Amino acid sequence: MKKGFSLLELIFAIVVIGIIASFAIPKYLDTRDDAVASTIQRDLATATTSIQTYYLTKRSISDISDAVQLNTANWTLDNTKLIMTSKNGNGCAKLTIANEKITINIDTNEDICSKLSNLGVTDGTEINLI
């Protein structure tokens, strides 16, 4: 009696694994993008709350980094801008402070940032600091 698999059995097993992988891998990658979009949404909410609190306490804000501490691997801090760095290096989510308002801009052409609209974050959202 043989102690192994025939070539036909091996090919059948590889085909079954390929079919399972063709469904599982895209689902996994989509789940990862959803998690990153959720993290961006949470970071934007945290930054907005921190900036509003800082502004209410100090009555002015000249540098966002005084009010917000975020992971610099994902975010670039400028004096009045907070920019999320995407996979291709473009900033697909931007938070800007001007005229006592926080403005959130989303580039929906980016894969991850396009998912933000499903989470309720819209491009051009303005929030008053006062």
pLDDT of residue 18: 92
Tell me the per-residue pLDDT of 69-114, one tens digit each, with 9 for 90 and over.
877 777 888 888 888 876 655 678 888 888 888 899 888 787 777 8
d(CA 71, CA 19): 38
Instruction: Name which of 86, 84, 82 is nearest 111 in CA terms.
Output: 86
Tell me the per-residue pLDDT of 83-94, one tens digit each, with 9 for 90 and over.
887 665 567 888
What is the percent of the chain with per-residue pLDDT over 90, rounded to a whole number?
10
